[in-house]
Amino acid sequence: MATKNHGFDDEFLATMLGDFLDESQEYLSRLNENLLVLDELVDEGEPEFDPDMLNEMFRDAHSLKGLSGMLQLDDINRLTHRIENVFDAARNGQLDLTRQAVDLVFEALDKLTQMVDRLKDPSVEKVEYEAVVEGIRQLLEDAGNAPPCPCPNASKEEEALVESTEGTPIAAVSSEEGTSPDNPLEGVTDDTDIPDKYLSLFIAETEESLDGLSELLVGDEVSDLKPLLVICHRIKGAAASIGLHRCAALAHAMEDLLQQRHEASEPLTPDIVDAMLSAVDAIRDFIERLRADKPLEDRFPAAYTALQKATGAKEPTAQAATPAEPTATARARLTSEDRQAIYTARPAQRPALAGAVTFASDLPLAGMKASLVCNRLAGLGQLFAVAPSEEELPQLDDVPLLRFGLATDRGKEEVAAAMDVEGVVDIVLEELPEETTGEDIAPAAAKPAPPASSQRARDRRSSDRPAETVRVDIDRLDQLMNLTGQLVISKARFSQLCEQLKSMSSRKQSLHALSSLESRLEGVVDELDSTEETDLHVLRAHVGSMRRDFEAIRAEIEQLLKSRPVVNELSEAVHQLGRVTDGIQKSVMDTRMVPVGPLFSRFKRVIRDITRSNGKNIRLVIRGEKTELDKRMIDELSDPLIHLVRNAADHGIESPSDREAAGKPAQGTVTLDAFHRGNQIHIRVRDDGRGLDPERIRAKAVAKGILSAQDAQRLSDAQTFKLIWEPGFSTAEKITEVSGRGMGMDIVRSKIERINGSIELESEPGQGTTISIILPLTMAILPSLLTVIRDDVFAIPIEAIVEIVRASRRDLATVRGAKTARVRGRIIPIVELERIFQWHGPAAATAPPTDEWTLVIVGSGQNEIGLAVQDVLGEEDIVIKSLAENYRNVEGLAGASILGNGRVSLILDVPTLIDRASNGYGRPNDAGAPSASPADDVSAVDVPTA
Amino acid sequence: MANAVLDSHQLASENDGADRTLQLVSFRLAEEEYGIEISRVREIILVGEITEVPQTPPYVKGLINLRSTVIPIVDLKLRFGLPETEQTDDTRIVVVDVGGKTIGVIVDAVNEVLRISRDQIAPPPQAVQGNAGDDYVTGLAKVNDRLLILLDIEKIMFDQDQEEGVLVSEPSES
């Protein structure tokens, strides 16, 4: 580990890196969330921090540090180490989390996020983070905590190496302070309430790790220990991060053993391999129990002993699996497990302290010194939960850490003073909480019996077994979705062919026709027979041959009719295929669905930063975070949503004084909401701010040259608001740290439209603005009506269709030169694709007849148009192919699709068609039309009544 | 780790630079012979049914279904301002990969795949540039008695200057 290792094979590294990207995302988002909570607490000025939260933050930072160290991501490693320092100091009460500290950590997390992003896209410029590291160092120094790394000026490389070899994870503390070297697991208990979600992740991940480990271990020759180390570290991290400390401790022991071997450049002996494998089995067994939700027992102590033996046998001098920690600089710390152990052992009804002491590492007679400390403490009150125990202390040569509980009325200072014995390096004292809540703290009896407490935890969770998960590359899901799309297309083709066959084989009438023809022929023959004219014999012969021919035809048709049952069967089979296809399509869609919650959570930070910079008081309300969306859609939504939320907070919400003046609460609210409605998903960004000002928008649109002042005045408010989506109306803002990349509203709209969504805006002056993003359930499949226009097949999304009508001549009229149709009392403009689009070739020869039109009415409310089509083919689920994939988006088209016959057909984009139609595209004599008011137009409609 | 990411880039650039020879696909447009780098060419197919797309420049003939992928078809002659001609038995679509997109190009005939040395390539004379429209001509190659006009297919597809001629509006974004 001490050198940059090139023995790693690239594939392994790539997998690790992928895992790291995944995991780091989780850690970073949790850190960010917790930090936001801290941030609020700091703001409220009552820094009563939840120690569990600080612990969790420490743990997350620590896990990140460990992972990055293993992958030799030195920069990330270095920065996470600093963040870890901060939380370590904070949870030990050595650092006050001030505003400055929180801001600094925010900054550090931002830098970290950038660094992780940079792993995905190495072309991004290097992240400069030196200032943050220095800031944290300064912060800790001011608080009287020099960072534990004794060499702040050491070269990066060197420091990074210190990190990666340090290996003192929180979870493993238990093994360091173990009472006897034989069983470091004694007293280590698992956390009691592990969320199912994490548990199932842990199970999946660790199983994979164990498989990898076994494979490496049983391999021919284990020459490179690095991959083994990485895996053990990963198991340790995974277990520790969800509070399975016993498992973590064992994995830590495995890691230590490997580390030793690695540093000594010695290969693994068969004994060690055996011991490692038995440890793997023990963990596997443990996981099996977790999965089956059985009472938790483990064989970890035995496995640990085996590990000890294996090393001991070959290398008696080695200090087994607890390597010499740099205890000279070790600081005393209490883990949450320590606290719990002490808490559960406390005598009732007495105030008590929890404490920890460290001694200098090379202290002679450390055990005796520790005993002395115990004696002195016993003089101040009742000593309990001492580890290592008082009996064995005098025999110990080395006591890295002494942990105890003390029931006493004396103050912390007095107790600390009593402990000031030669060789004591560091002391931590904490007051234990007064009251017992029962639920959160395991009963006293549970202390030496972890299985019992774990069992309780299992029981408290829902008794369901955790769902098993598999991590899948999103590209594979895309591939699957594509294939499903093709399956849907094939299904459509089959149905089409089947229908054709059916219509061909159901010609019963022809048989009737044939019969009557034959009988008439019979009549003719009889007639001929009755006449005696001899020169008619030629005719008779002809009729005879005709009769024979007819018989042959009859036989053929009868044969054909026999195929009917087969066709019916085929039809049944195709139907079944359709059902299966639908099932597959639905399942594939489901696998791609992820909750929108994590995306929404990111905006807490956005709001926080905005309020900090503009002095507004804004609350973010998140609703419907469980609503699920296609993963790709979530990815695409992130940028536009940030922009919308930022807009709402920055421009929508007024300053507190303005709000109060307007009679509103000083605190503004931005609401993020997601919900299903029919086959769509709505995402809403709402603010209760000042609303849009139509006058200002008109003025700005005129100033930007989007429309003339005259036109602007004619627009209704609702029409005016639509102007903000126009290209060039809201120009891209400069890049800020808050929003990341700024973009214009037109880009927001086009991004939403690119995922086949639409965006709507409502605004009420003084009441606020609501922007709704409406998305299809999937980006891939769209129920559509297939129609024929210009002799080509066009698909119209069913969602947009109101009805299909046939308009005869008398329903038609011309309003200001534009064709309209009267449909059940409504006057609906007729839109001909021919006219509103530019085509290359001349108009198709078969223009629709002017006396009867088939109109597909699309749109809603005031915005209905009748799309003239030549024919309607029927409804079908079509697979959307983006035009931008290989070409570019075309206005008026939502994409393309491949039909059952293999041809490409275009999908019409209804909102654009309506826009174009209402903007007067394609009116034959637009300029020459008399400029009457709309009211006049309607009254002037020439509607023949008869 | 960073190495693993860099490797593919390095590989690509090495392949481009090290070779002294160039492999081309040559094809005919009207009476002229053109060549494009073979690395750009994905396949050559017969002309099937093309679905016309409105709101596009005339040289974009439309869309076809290439094994469940929808790709645009460009008529190079129209792109170069040459008169359109009827399809013949020799007419082909050359499917090229450009800037991450797959595009079909209609040509009058595909001639051959040939290998030329970089020494054979002369820079385009001023006069020829005028003919083909713009600076898509990267050079002229003399092969035996024939003159091959080498095209930069990427420039043709992404030319931003031509009015309404932007085939792919956001080459940098994707």
The DSSP result for A467-522, as a single string, is: PP-----HHHHHHHHHHHHHHHHHHHHHHHHHHHHHHHH--HHHHHHHHHHHHHHH
* Percent of chain B whose pLDDT exceeds 90: 30
DSSP string of A541-589, one letter each residue: HHHHHHHHHHHHHHHHHHHHHHTHHHHHHHHHHHHHHHHHHHHHHHHHH
**Chain A, nearest residue to B60 by Cα:** A840
Cβ atoms of B98 and B153 closer than 8 Å: yes
pLDDT exceeds 80 at position B10 = no
Residues A149, A127 within the same domain: yes
Query: Are residues B55 and A892, on separate chains, in Cβ contact within 8 Å?
Result: yes
Which residues in A lie closer than 8 A to residue B64 (C-beta atoms)? 904
* Percent of chain A whose pLDDT exceeds 90: 6
Assigned domain for A88 exists: yes
Other CB atoms within a 10 A radius of the CB of residue A581 amount to 19
Cβ atoms of A697 and A745 closer than 8 Å: no
Cis amide prior to A598 (ω within 30 degrees): no
Which residues in B lie closer than 8 A to residue A842 (C-beta atoms)? none
Which pLDDT value is given to residue A183?
Answer: 59
Assigned domain for A876 exists: yes
Q: How far apart are CA A203 and CA A303, in angstroms?
A: 20
| CB proximity B172 to A under 8 Å | no
| CB proximity B127 to A under 8 Å | no
Query: Are residues A903 and B49, on separate chains, in Cβ contact within 8 Å?
Result: yes
CA angle A192, A195, A198 (to 5 degrees): 115
Residues A809, A766 within the same domain: no
Which residues in A lie closer than 8 A to residue B160 (C-beta atoms)? none
Assigned domain for A480 exists: no
Q: Residue A874 forms beta bridges with which residues?
A: A786
For B103, the closest of A14, A72, A886 (CB atoms) is: A886
- Tell how strand A863-869 and strand A826-831 pair up: parallel
Residues A717, A607 within the same domain: yes
- Given A562, A591, A620, the domain boundary residue is A591
Rounded to a whole number of angstroms, the distance from the CA of B122 to the nearest CA of chain A is 32
Residues A533, A577 within the same domain: yes
For A886, the closest of B58, B101, B169 (CB atoms) is: B101
Which residues in B lie closer than 8 A to residue A122 (C-beta atoms)? 2, 5-6
- Given A108, A142, A166, the domain boundary residue is A166
The CATH code of the domain that includes A34 is: 1.20.120.160
Query: Are residues B167 and A885, on separate chains, in Cβ contact within 8 Å?
Result: no
Rounded to a whole number of angstroms, the distance from the CA of B17 to the nearest CA of chain A is 21
Residues A632, A769 within the same domain: yes
Query: Are residues A887 and B102, on separate chains, in Cβ contact within 8 Å?
Result: no
For A10, the closest of B4, B72, B166 (CB atoms) is: B4
Domain that holds residue A235: 171-324+447-471
10-residue block means of pLDDT along chain A (946 residues)?
44 70 82 84 74 82 79 82 84 80 86 83 78 85 60 40 38 37 63 70 81 77 75 82 81 84 78 84 84 76 81 47 41 70 73 79 73 80 80 74 81 77 76 52 38 41 57 83 81 82 72 81 77 71 82 83 84 91 87 87 83 85 89 86 87 88 90 85 92 85 81 82 76 41 70 80 89 82 88 89 87 82 86 85 58 84 84 85 83 85 88 78 39 34 35
Distance, first Cα to last Cα, chain B? 25
Strand order in the sheet with A818-823: A801-808, A852-860, A863-869, A826-831, A818-823, A812-815
Residues A875, A748 within the same domain: no
The CATH code of the domain that includes A359 is: 3.30.70.1110
Rounded to a whole number of angstroms, the distance from the CA of A840 to the nearest CA of chain B is 6
Sign of CA dihedral A191, A193, A198, A204: positive
Which residues in A lie closer than 8 A to residue B169 (C-beta atoms)? 888-889
Rounded to a whole number of angstroms, the distance from the CA of B119 to the nearest CA of chain A is 34
Which residues in B lie closer than 8 A to residue A839 (C-beta atoms)? 52, 54
Rounded to a whole number of angstroms, the distance from the CA of A363 to the nearest CA of chain B is 43
Q: Which among A283, A303, A289 is positioned nearest to A231, based on CA atoms?
A: A283
| CB proximity B6 to A under 8 Å | yes
Residues A813, A720 within the same domain: no
Residues A332, A245 within the same domain: no
Residues A462, A524 within the same domain: no
Residues A689, A794 within the same domain: no
Half-sphere exposure of A512 (CA within 13 A, CB side): 4
* Count of residues in chain B: 174
| CB proximity B18 to A under 8 Å | no
| CB proximity A17 to B under 8 Å | yes
Q: How far apart are CA B84 and CA B104, in angstroms?
A: 17
Interface of A with B in 679-698 (CB under 8 A): none
| CB proximity A881 to B under 8 Å | yes
Query: Are residues A13 and B170, on separate chains, in Cβ contact within 8 Å?
Result: no
**Which DSSP category does B80 fall into?**
T
Assigned domain for A478 exists: no
Q: How far apart are CA A765 and CA A274, in angstroms?
A: 75
Rounded to a whole number of angstroms, the distance from the CA of B121 to the nearest CA of chain A is 31
Query: Are residues B55 and A482, on separate chains, in Cβ contact within 8 Å?
Result: no
Q: Which among A781, A779, A477 is positioned nearest to A633, based on CA atoms?
A: A779
- Given A122, A149, A166, the domain boundary residue is A166
Q: Which among A908, A746, A916 is positioned nearest to A829, based on CA atoms?
A: A916
Q: How far apart are CA A287 and CA A351, in angstroms?
A: 39
Q: How far apart are CA A617 and CA A908, in angstroms?
A: 44
Enclosing H/E stretch for A11: helix A10-44
| CB proximity B170 to A under 8 Å | yes
**Chain A, nearest residue to B64 by Cα:** A904
Q: Which residues have a Cβ under 8 Å from the Cβ of A121 and sit 6 or more positions away?
A: none
Look at the block and give the residue holding tokens 């750009």.
B40
Query: Are residues B55 and A885, on separate chains, in Cβ contact within 8 Å?
Result: no
Residues A43, A105 within the same domain: yes
| CB proximity B53 to A under 8 Å | yes
Q: Which residues have a Cβ under 8 Å from the Cβ of A752 and sit 6 or more positions away?
A: A637, A640, A758, A759, A773, A775
Which pLDDT value is given to residue A193?
Answer: 67
Which pLDDT value is given to residue A393?
Answer: 77
Distance, first Cα to last Cα, chain A? 95
List b or e across A503-518, with b for residues whose CB sees 16 or more CB atoms inside 10 angstroms: eebeeeeeeeebeeeb
Q: Which among A613, A664, A672 is positioned nearest to A645, based on CA atoms?
A: A672
Q: Which of B8, B11, B53, B101 to mutate to test the interface with A (most CBs of A within 10 A)?
A: B53
CA angle A422, A424, A427 (to 5 degrees): 140
Query: Are residues B4 and A792, on separate chains, in Cβ contact within 8 Å?
Result: no
Which pLDDT value is given to residue B44?
Answer: 94
Assigned domain for A215 exists: yes
**Chain A, nearest residue to B99 by Cα:** A886
For A792, the closest of B5, B52, B102 (CB atoms) is: B52
DSSP string of A242-299, one letter each residue: TT-HHHHHHHHHHHHHHHHHHHTT-PPPHHHHHHHHHHHHHHHHHHHHHHHTPPP---
Assigned domain for A479 exists: no
Cβ atoms of A214 and A280 closer than 8 Å: yes
CB pairs under 8 A between A and B: 95
Which residues in B lie closer than 8 A to residue A916 (C-beta atoms)? none
Query: Are residues B63 and A883, on separate chains, in Cβ contact within 8 Å?
Result: yes
User: What are the tens digits of pLDDT across the range B83-99?
Assistant: 888 889 999 999 999 87
Round the CA-based radius of gyration of chain B to a whole number and report it.
Answer: 17
Q: In CATH, which of 3.40.50.1220, 2.40.50.180, 2.60.120.620, 3.40.50.720 is domain B21-158?
A: 2.40.50.180
Query: Are residues A485 and B52, on separate chains, in Cβ contact within 8 Å?
Result: no
| CB proximity B101 to A under 8 Å | yes
Q: Which of B56, B70, B160, B163 to mutate to test the interface with A (most CBs of A within 10 A)?
A: B70
Residues A746, A801 within the same domain: no
| CB proximity A887 to B under 8 Å | yes
**Chain B, nearest residue to A485 by Cα:** B68
Q: How far apart are CA A452 and CA A541, in angstroms?
A: 105
Query: Are residues B63 and A887, on separate chains, in Cβ contact within 8 Å?
Result: yes
| CB proximity A837 to B under 8 Å | yes
Query: Are residues A891 and B55, on separate chains, in Cβ contact within 8 Å?
Result: yes
Structure tokens at A466: 């955790």
Enclosing H/E stretch for A15: helix A10-44
* DSSP-based three-state secondary structure for A437: coil
pLDDT exceeds 60 at position B4 = no
Query: Are residues A837 and B55, on separate chains, in Cβ contact within 8 Å?
Result: yes
Query: Are residues A892 and B5, on separate chains, in Cβ contact within 8 Å?
Result: no
B36 pLDDT tier (thresholds 50, 70, 90): very high
Enclosing H/E stretch for A618: strand A618-623
Query: Are residues B70 and A886, on separate chains, in Cβ contact within 8 Å?
Result: yes
Which pLDDT value is given to residue A288?
Answer: 82
Rounded to a whole number of angstroms, the distance from the CA of B69 to the nearest CA of chain A is 8
Per the structure, the count of domains in chain A is 6
Rounded to a whole number of angstroms, the distance from the CA of A731 to the nearest CA of chain B is 18
